[in-house]
């Protein structure tokens, strides 16, 4: 190992100044990568270093950062991912989303670990990156096109059907606040509105083609590790292999109350099996799709010809999408949900935020806060599947009520008034994902505290530590005792912090959660690729570092402990179903938040202390 | 792994109530061992749980705890160690020492992981433990005997020459405050006065014989790991293999100023090679000795016939002993040092505290604070080797000045008065080991903060991270940048904390430092032996937990941040030699202490916060 340490790990970062149409390349040193790893570690580093406090998220001074992890582009299952980040137009704080597919790997093969996009192009442009060469190209003819057309036109124009494209549809162009960035047509960097930032810069797409495979510091060791990895892969991930994301869990989620129903209000969603991935596979499923180098192939593809036509090019609904457009909108028609998914991928809209925005509108309609006058004649009741589809179109076009819902539920509620705020299911402006915090109460704390608003990935799924298997799965984190799903004691907070810190590492490494590999194996793979004499312990510290950086960014942008809270709804029980008598205890919840601060080394206002910054080698943040 | 988790790891703890002559056996569960591991983790747990605040360290209510680690007794190199702990008669706080040899392994083979000794025997006794059976036996005939005689008499009396004995000589019987507990005749649980506690209980010895080898949860895995372990062992530890402790470092230590000279005052010790382990090997060294199952065999054995006779039975001087009786007393005669070592092992006196006490007396003599009237006619100048030998005898017998020096330098200085305090080189009452804190300044901070007083083992050796090799050796802790030996920035404090926390784990596992094995390999060996799905990260947390428990014990006993300080001498330069212009900067030092508190999650007074206790699953300490 000693020799490798001296070699160092480096990577190229491409800077693109759209205002001045200039590009340049930087090459940070080994220590930079080891401290911040990749993905959102790189994103938050540059946002902290370079963004002026108070920057308009949709102004030219925001920076849109695409970042790979150190494993991206290697033939390692689960690593076909990249991050997209910027100051978020939804939260005004740290924005980032992870996305799968093939684009990140292609970027690495073209010679880059990250792209920092600054400024704003006068007219629409796209970037063309091929094996180290970068071109800023006119995209006026692409502007207004949906993602499927854009990808096709770029490939035709550049004469290469193997080009991979990260891009926005009309949703991003029109700066829908929760617009996403699409990798190809099926993979979305969904949350926190990164597509809106891309649109604000007049940047339609980044097309990439690369031919150079990266080399590991210790190729033999990597091969050996991957052998072990692949031999065990299929067995450990049976559910995802067979049914894609959501596995065989949607129906059980409904039975516990975890699956949100009618804008998180009710709890008795009938026959959830109708929306379960198992049913999708049996009825409308085609073959599945996967990310670069991954044999899991968790991505559903569906095809429906009538009565609704759903284009299989845009893939099928993930679990979150099934919940957001399905039960959350009181909708039981799987074809409608698949259509909604197709439209979101076409227009580059985040399916969670879109679905929750429509659920919000449906509840407002039911309460008379919105009427047919507002909706353009649509009877926007829960369960109106045609209405839902129409509203998605209106959002993408910013037409009528769609122009209000395009701002996200927080701003929409403010615009609508009349008490609509009560029905706006968000944290820090980001719509809440499809896991009920009255059921998973630790996740509720995680929603409240996540620097990117309500977030289900970098979070604790309470059911994972409510069972006897906890020692096997979380043992290496010292989480040894099962805790009830509704426990909010310091033990739950501790578990949330430990698990979340590892997930920050995961997001920086950009390994897919669905592979469930041991922390030790991830560590060893990282050692083999980078040559770092690193450890799971150091990687946990990296996760803590990134979490603390994200918190610091938000603090700097004016977010306070007041923003660490859930909508009032969650402190009351469901109207019906398994959680009809279960609410979150407000005192326990507040106590959990305060305990989280203290355990993280933050002060009572949730601001990281000087010594915590120093311990994490973030002393440079004191003067920013 | 899943199956093993359910099996659990347990061990037996023997309780001995000497007052009532009763014994009993407890069997804590897997979770207890996983949280507190072993060694000083077990010691501090029971002291916190069971000792009344304000207990007299030399009274019957103190508890003397012998504790193995989970690996003790397995045929694993480096694990032939055990801890001995109690409330310390030197500090009034947490006392513990680690010791090698064969006794701990024998205890494990006899069926016990630990012994908790409570109360006080009416007349001297010894314990006889054989394969699960325990007997309290009369030791009146052994009282007053030196260790060599005691061991021999017990073996004869019990008719088994393979019995291993942990015991005290006259030093422990007379409650010299820094008396040690000897494993056999060559291995000392040296620091913090555990031999005095043993003496206060009228407990002369614990004789052990066991025949049952422990079984690993995964024997195949353990064998495989040990194969790797043994193949690399010899290469990695060349210096210790050849020369024993101190390796080839004594001479270089003198050249940097690290080797204390004349009670830490001067810096120009000439011809240090005369005391170097290399010279010892060439001139007076016999074969070397080792601990149970260890192939390093780092323990010197020396034999000198004239003019001084040194008995080879008691081994040879370790590095610390060479420094304490050698340069620290201005003594250059290796035979005198070997004799001092022999006497300390015979009488069960800690060589560091004894040597530093004599160095203190020599400086007092030089300053006229002590005179020939006080010393019984001895001209106690630096360099008086015969005088030194005489004083050791007087300490062991508590005769004349020896009765004062038997209390340790802190109390001796108070008794002597006349400004003697200035020359008392101690922290919290424990004499400072043979590493100059003006040279290793991070270690100086560690001396000040160690819960067991000045302590060189659970500490940072600044030179280890001052060189380019830092990434290879400390990389897994994320310590990636070399730091000068005299650096006292937050980076040094961070390194001190990380390294110390791992050392607390090491001491709980009871793996020998001299093997320098990787943290990952230790983790895997522990997994194989215990069946725990643990990780280096969880083990680091265990170390942090034990450190925090020790701090909490001290806080409870009334120690405060005022006790976290060094003697004034260290804030001035040496009078001569390489550190003639180097002192510790008081402001930087104080700042480092405060930074340490905050980084550890302690408040400004150095008291662990409620949330830090909770994070470490030490919530039960809040109510103790």
Q: Output the pLDDT for position A624.
A: 56
Q: Torsion-angle region of residue B170: left (phi > 0), alpha (psi -120 to 50) or beta?
A: alpha
Residues in chain B: 624
Q: Output the pLDDT for position B6.
A: 44
Q: Output the pLDDT for position B3.
A: 30
Q: Torsion-angle region of residue B278: left (phi > 0), alpha (psi -120 to 50) or beta?
A: alpha
**Residue B237 pLDDT class (50, 70, 90 cuts):** low
Q: Is A534 in Cβ contact with B519 (below 8 Å)? A: no
A482–chain B Cβ distance below 8 A for any pair: no
Q: B468 pLDDT exceeds 80? A: no
Closest residue of chain B to A476, computed from CA coordinates: B534
- pTM recorded for the entire structure: 0.96
B308–chain A Cβ distance below 8 A for any pair: no
Q: Which of A480, A520, A534 is opposite residue B31, by nearest beta carbon?
A: A480
List of chain B residues whose C-beta atoms are within 8 Å of the C-beta of residue A490: 611, 614-615, 619
Q: Output the pLDDT for position B232.
A: 75
Residues 249-288 of A with CB under 8 A from B: none
**Residue B113 pLDDT class (50, 70, 90 cuts):** very high
What backbone torsions phi and psi does residue A161 show, to the nearest 5 degrees? -80, -5
Q: Is B34 in Cβ contact with A533 (below 8 Å)? A: no
Continuous H helices in B269-317: 277-283
Q: B233 pLDDT exceeds 80? A: no
B238–chain A Cβ distance below 8 A for any pair: no
Q: Is B533 in Cβ contact with A475 (below 8 Å)? A: yes
Q: Is B619 in Cβ contact with A612 (below 8 Å)? A: no
Q: Output the pLDDT for position A623.
A: 65
- Arithmetic mean of pLDDT over chain B: 94
Indicate whether this complex's ipTM tops 0.90: yes
User: What's the average pLDDT block by block, 10 residues per block, for chain A (624 residues)?
Assistant: 51 97 96 97 98 98 98 94 98 98 98 98 98 98 98 98 98 98 98 98 98 96 89 70 81 94 95 90 87 88 92 95 97 96 98 98 98 97 98 98 98 98 98 98 98 96 87 89 96 97 96 84 95 96 98 98 98 95 97 98 97 97 75
List of chain A residues whose C-beta atoms are within 8 Å of the C-beta of residue B1: 472
SS3 state of residue A623: helix
Beta-carbon contacts of residue A133 (< 8 Å; ≥ 6 apart): none
- Burial class of residue B403 in the structure, from the number of CB atoms within 10 Å of its CB (0-12 exposed, 13-18 middle, 19+ buried): middle
Q: Output the pLDDT for position B123.
A: 98
CA B474 to chain centre: 23
Distance CA A35, CA A534 (A): 11
B603–chain A Cβ distance below 8 A for any pair: no
Distance CA B86, CA B108 (A): 20
Q: Which of A478, A481, A611 is opposite residue B538, by nearest beta carbon?
A: A478
B232–chain A Cβ distance below 8 A for any pair: no
Closest residue of chain A to B609, computed from CA coordinates: A598
List of chain B residues whose C-beta atoms are within 8 Å of the C-beta of residue A519: 535, 537
B472–chain A Cβ distance below 8 A for any pair: yes
Distance CA A36, CA A28 (A): 11
Q: Is A614 in Cβ contact with B490 (below 8 Å)? A: yes
List of chain A residues whose C-beta atoms are within 8 Å of the C-beta of residue B5: 471-472, 475
- Among A36, A523, A532, A535, most B C-beta atoms within 10 A, so best to mutate, is A535
A520–chain B Cβ distance below 8 A for any pair: yes
Q: Convert the pLDDT of each residue in B393-451 to its tens digit.
A: 999 999 999 999 999 999 999 999 999 999 999 999 999 999 999 999 999 999 999 99
Q: Convert the pLDDT of each residue in B344-403 to its tens digit.
A: 999 999 999 999 999 999 999 999 999 999 999 999 999 999 999 999 999 999 999 999
List of chain A residues whose C-beta atoms are within 8 Å of the C-beta of residue B601: 601
Continuous H helices in B55-115: 103-109
- Burial class of residue B36 in the structure, from the number of CB atoms within 10 Å of its CB (0-12 exposed, 13-18 middle, 19+ buried): buried
Distance CA A102, CA A99 (A): 10
**Rounded average pLDDT over B146-155:** 98
Q: Is B598 in Cβ contact with A612 (below 8 Å)? A: yes
Q: Convert the pLDDT of each residue in B487-546 to its tens digit.
A: 999 999 999 999 999 999 999 999 988 877 889 899 999 999 999 999 999 999 999 999
Domains recognised in chain B with CATH numbers: 13-209 (3.60.9.10), 244-431 (1.10.569.10), 441-623 (1.10.599.10)
Q: Is A536 in Cβ contact with B537 (below 8 Å)? A: yes
Residue A278: HSE in the Cβ half-sphere, 13 Å Cα cutoff? 11
Distance CA B607, CA B548 (A): 9
List of chain A residues whose C-beta atoms are within 8 Å of the C-beta of residue B617: 478, 491, 494
Q: Which of A533, A540, A595 is opposite residue B537, by nearest beta carbon?
A: A540
Contact call for residues A233 and A515 (beta carbons, < 8 A): yes
Long-range contacts of B596-600 (CB under 8 A, 24+ apart): B596/B445, B596/B449, B596/B493, B596/B496, B596/B497, B597/B561, B598/A609, B598/A610, B598/A611, B598/A612, B599/A611, B599/A612, B599/A614, B599/A615, B599/B490, B599/B493, B599/B494, B599/B497, B600/B497, B600/B544, B600/B547, B600/B548, B600/B551
Beta-carbon contacts of residue A603 (< 8 Å; ≥ 6 apart): A597, A609
A221–chain B Cβ distance below 8 A for any pair: no
- Among A236, A475, A489, A500, most B C-beta atoms within 10 A, so best to mutate, is A475
At how many degrees (to 10) do helices B586-599 and B441-449 cross?
60
Beta-carbon contacts of residue A88 (< 8 Å; ≥ 6 apart): A57, A94, A95, A192, A193, A194, A429, A430, A452, A453
Continuous H helices in A37-182: 39-50, 103-109, 147-158, 170-173
Beta-carbon contacts of residue B282 (< 8 Å; ≥ 6 apart): none
List of chain B residues whose C-beta atoms are within 8 Å of the C-beta of residue A617: 478, 491, 494
Q: Convert the pLDDT of each residue in B152-198 to its tens digit.
A: 999 999 999 999 999 999 999 999 999 999 999 999 999 999 999 99
List of chain B residues whose C-beta atoms are within 8 Å of the C-beta of residue A5: 471-472, 475
């Amino acid at each position: 190992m000693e020799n490798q340490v001296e070699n160092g790990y480096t990577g190229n970062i491409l800077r693109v100044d759209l205002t001045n149409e200039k590009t340049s390349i930087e090459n940070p040193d080994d220590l930079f990568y080891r401290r911040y790893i990749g993905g959102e570690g790189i994103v938050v580093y540059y946002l902290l270093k370079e963004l002026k406090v108070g920057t308009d998220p949709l102004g030219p001074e925001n920076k849109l950062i695409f970042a790979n992890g150190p494993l991206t582009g290697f033939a390692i299952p689960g690593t076909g991912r990249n991050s997209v980040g910027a100051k978020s137009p939804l939260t005004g704080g740290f924005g980032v989303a992870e996305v799968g597919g093939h684009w990140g790997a292609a970027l690495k093969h073209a010679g880059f670990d990250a792209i920092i996009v600054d400024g704003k192009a006068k007219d629409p442009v796209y970037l063309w990156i091929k094996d180290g060469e970068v071109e800023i190209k006119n995209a006026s003819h692409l502007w207004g096109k949906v993602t499927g057309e854009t990808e096709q036109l770029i490939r035709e124009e550049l004469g290469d059907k193997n080009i991979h494209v990260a891009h926005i549809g009309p949703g991003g162009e029109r700066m829908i606040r929760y617009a996403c960035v699409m990798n190809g047509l099926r993979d979305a960097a969904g949350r926190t509105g990164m597509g809106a930032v891309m649109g604000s810069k007049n940047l339609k797409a980044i097309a990439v083609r690369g031919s150079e495979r990266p080399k590991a510091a210790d190729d033999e060791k990597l091969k050996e590790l991957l052998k072990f990895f692949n031999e065990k892969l299929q067995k450990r991930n049976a559910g995802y292999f067979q049914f894609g994301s959501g596995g065989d869990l949607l129906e059980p989620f409904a039975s516990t109350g975890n699956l949100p129903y009618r804008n998180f209000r009710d709890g008795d969603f009938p026959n959830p099996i109708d929306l379960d991935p198992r049913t999708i596979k049996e009825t409308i499923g085609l073959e599945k799709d996967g990310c670069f180098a991954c044999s899991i192939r968790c991505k559903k593809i569906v095809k429906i010809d009538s009565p609704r036509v759903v284009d299989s090019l845009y893939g099928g609904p993930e679990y979150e999408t099934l919940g957001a457009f399905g039960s959350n909108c009181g909708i039981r028609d799987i074809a409608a949900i698949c259509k909604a998914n197709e439209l979101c991928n076409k227009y580059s809209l985040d399916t969670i935020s879109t679905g929750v925005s429509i659920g919000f509108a449906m509840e407002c309609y039911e309460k008379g806060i919105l009427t047919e006058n507002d909706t353009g004649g649509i009877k926007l009741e829960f369960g109106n599947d045609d209405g839902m589809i129409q509203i998605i179109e209106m959002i993408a076009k910013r037409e009528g009520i769609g122009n209000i819902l395009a701002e996200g539920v927080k701003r929409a509620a403010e615009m609508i008034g009349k008490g609509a705020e009560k029905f706006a299911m968000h944290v820090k402006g980001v719509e809440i994902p499809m896991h009920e915090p009255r059921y998973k109460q630790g996740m509720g704390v995680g929603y409240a505290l996540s620097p990117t608003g309500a977030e289900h990935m970098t979070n604790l799924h309470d059911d994972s530590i409510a069972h006897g298997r906890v020692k096997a799965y979380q043992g290496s984190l010292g989480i040894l005792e099962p805790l009830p799903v509704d426990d909010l004691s310091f033990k739950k907070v501790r578990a949330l912090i430990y698990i979340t810190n590892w997930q920050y590492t995961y997001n920086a490494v950009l390994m897919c959660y669905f592979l469930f590999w041991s922390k030790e194996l991830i560590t060893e793979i990282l050692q083999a690729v980078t040559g770092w004499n690193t450890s799971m312990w150091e990687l946990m510290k990296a996760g803590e570092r990134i979490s603390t950086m994200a918190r610091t960014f938000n603090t700097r942008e004016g977010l306070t402990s007041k923003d660490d809270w859930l909508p009032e709804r969650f402190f009351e029980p469901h109207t019906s179903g398994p959680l009809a008598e279960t609410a979150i205890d407000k005192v326990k919840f507040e106590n959990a938040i305060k305990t989280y601060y203290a355990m993280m080394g933050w002060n009572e206002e949730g601001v990281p202390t000087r010594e915590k910054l120093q311990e994490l080698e973030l002393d440079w943040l004191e003067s920013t």
